[in-house]
Amino acid sequence: MIDRAIALLALLVLGAAPALAAPDGARLYSQNCAACHGENGTGGIGVPLALPSFQATISDDYIRKTIINGRPGRVMPSYKALNKDQVEALVRYVRSWNKGKAVTYSALPVKGDPKHGAQLYAEECASCHGADGEGGRGTGVTFSRPRDLPIMAPALNNVGFLASATDAMIKRTLVEGHEGTPMVSYIKKGLTEQDIDDVVSFVRSFERSPLPHNTASLAAEKPVIIRQSPYDLKTTVANVTQAINNNNFFFGRAQPLEYGLVAPDKADPHQVVLYFCNISFLNQALAIDPRVGMFLPCRITVVEHNGKVQVMSVNPKVLSRLFNNSELDVLCDRMQRSYIAIMEEATL
Amino acid sequence: MNFLNRLAALLLLAAACAAPAAADDLLMARSDLMYPEAMMVLQSAIKAQGYTITRLQQVNENLAKRHYKSDMYRVVFFGKYDEVKALAASHPELIPYLPLNITIFAEGNNAIVLTAHPRTLEEFFPDPKLKPIFERWEADMVKIMDTVRESK
């Protein structure tokens, strides 16, 4: 009997082994990538991975390193939690869209003149990729909002990009372009191979001066902004409402924290949430990152607890880091200052 | 020099990756369903985890009033009365993060849903008493996301 149980257990373990040994790339893609890149790799928030011209110029190693490194500050996260087998399964799945011959690239640097490359870059590349290689703006613009292009110009100065793309891959992209995107073939546009080597050499020089990524300084920030109010609850609510209007926001509504959870007359009146918005600012934020709904609408809560009245809100600067979007960091910094201005005016 | 450049880039990459900037702090899912159907699935999935939906915050309508274009966009707020009441009393600093919410917006013929990983709150509010609550929220959110992702 015990022998049979052991045999059955062994059979179960053996039966499960292939599944454990071979992660399902399609499932991993659906769970981790599809939200941004589309279920079929057609893009959206992220790059259209299935685009044939894109697949033609990338290597397995580029995908692998991109998954691991991400693009700090440019939405694409680093999937550090995935193990090696899972990463390989994802690489195979993404590369299954490649109908051409798989390319591999030499890791050797391309030799060129970065000074001449800088000149060519300014003339030919900066209009899309930014003067300092910072990439197209609106890293999180999706098809849910007005958008003309299927892809945002990558940030070439991004440490994740520079660690993932070899010189040879950048060179081939410049030579062939990406049909279906604004990235044209620069050989067809008239550059010589030496010109292209010079541009590659300049792009590689971004490694010496990548843009700072400000998340490291966030450790000192607290997740909640709190100010003590010297006034009673009713006066403080009125003050916050006035301060909202004074700081260029329109006041939406005030409601108890327990709104919707219990009958209105049963809700605790000592926790009042004030909702407000600046639509122009909202539109700007959504253009930079459509995922900012988590912040919406702006809200400040007035709480009377143990006889003290406090005004509090989330700290947008702390939440911003969840998005890995350096453009959004700038807006959240502004949002934090607005929250503080409102709270301090109301509790002055 | 080239080696030094690469070393510098590697160090910067390591520093950037070590920074608390993991964007996989967001839970995201794409639904094959059109926005209205995905919204129904989302609300149903939230209720299935025992939550009450407290508000559906309109976003695109407010943008449209000022002539800004956007596809369908909502923030769904939800919670459990006893839990919200108890947490607000014991940990008032948590109030700005209550009730829970999930954002949903249309993307062509699909819909995208997202929220922050509740496990992130463990870092913000390290009180061990809160840990099991955040873990339960995390499990609930993952189930809700899976339901939306897998509904056809």
User: What's the pTM value of the predicted model, to 2 decimals?
Assistant: 0.82
Domains of chain A: 21-208 (1.10.760.10), 217-347 (3.30.310.70)
Say which CATH superfamily domain B23-150 falls into: TT1751-like domain (3.30.310.70)
Residue A302: strand, helix, or coil: strand
B interface test, pick of A145, A282, A309, A327 with most B CB neighbours within 10 Å: A145
Q: Is A12 exposed, middle or buried (0-12, 13-18, 19+ CB in 10 A)?
A: exposed
Residue B33's pLDDT is 95
Measure in Å the smallest separation between the Cα of B11 and chain A Cα atoms: 10
Q: What is the pLDDT of residues B20-43, one digit of tens each?
A: 333 467 899 999 999 999 999 999
Question: Does ipTM top 0.95?
Answer: no
Residue B14's pLDDT is 46
Residue B16's pLDDT is 42
**Backbone conformation region of residue A278, classed left if phi is above 0, alpha if psi is from -120 to 50, else beta:** beta
Task: Count the neighbouring beta carbons within 10 Å of the beta carbon of residue B139.
Answer: 13
The answer to whether residue B18 scores a pLDDT higher than 80 is no
Name the residue in chain B with its Cα closest to that of A264. Answer: B54
**Tokens describing residue A315:** 């700290």
Q: Is B92–A303 a contact, with Cβ atoms under 8 angstroms apart?
A: yes
Question: What is the C-alpha to C-alpha distance for residues A24 and A93, in angstroms, rounded to an integer?
Answer: 9
Question: What is the C-alpha to C-alpha distance for residues A160 and A296, in angstroms, rounded to an integer?
Answer: 30
Residue A17's pLDDT is 47
Q: Is A160 exposed, middle or buried (0-12, 13-18, 19+ CB in 10 A)?
A: buried
Q: Is A144–B71 a contact, with Cβ atoms under 8 angstroms apart?
A: yes
Task: Count the neighbouring beta carbons within 10 Å of the beta carbon of residue A239.
Answer: 20
Measure in Å the smallest separation between the Cα of A213 and chain B Cα atoms: 7
Nearest by CB to residue B24, choosing from A81, A261, A301, is A81
- Residues B70-97, mean pLDDT to the nearest whole number: 94
Residue A213's pLDDT is 54
Question: What is the C-alpha to C-alpha distance for residues A268 and A285, in angstroms, rounded to an integer?
Answer: 33
Any chain B CB within 8 A of the CB of A76?
yes
Name the residue in chain A with its Cα closest to that of B24. Answer: A77
Mark which residues 275-294 of A lie under 8 Å from B by CB: 277, 279-280, 282-283, 286, 290-291, 293-294
Query: What averages of pLDDT result for each successive group of 10 residues across chain A (348 residues)?
Result: 56 47 87 91 87 94 96 89 94 94 93 96 94 80 59 89 96 94 92 97 88 57 95 98 96 96 95 94 85 86 94 94 88 94 97
Q: What is the pLDDT of residues B39-73, one digit of tens each?
A: 999 999 999 999 999 999 988 888 888 888 778 89
Report whether A34 contacts A43 (CB < 8 A): no
Question: What is the C-alpha to C-alpha distance for residues B53 and A30, in angstroms, rounded to an integer?
Answer: 27
C-alpha distances (whole Å) from B30 to each of A291, B38, B143 are 13, 9, 14
Task: Count the neighbouring beta carbons within 10 Å of the beta carbon of residue A284.
Answer: 14
Question: What is the C-alpha to C-alpha distance for residues B72 and B60, in angstroms, rounded to an integer?
Answer: 6
Q: Three-state SS string across A170-188, please?
A: HHHHHHHCCCCCCCCCCCC
Report which of A317, A296, A53 is spatially closest to residue B60, judged by C-alpha positions. A296
Question: What is the C-alpha to C-alpha distance for residues A323 and A340, in angstroms, rounded to an integer?
Answer: 22
* Domain spans of chain B, in order of start: 23-150
Measure in Å the smallest separation between the Cα of A71 and chain B Cα atoms: 9
Question: CA angle B76-B79-B80, nearest 5°?
Answer: 155
Residue A21's pLDDT is 52
Q: What is the pLDDT of residues B102-148, one digit of tens each?
A: 999 998 889 999 999 999 999 999 999 999 999 999 999 999 999 99
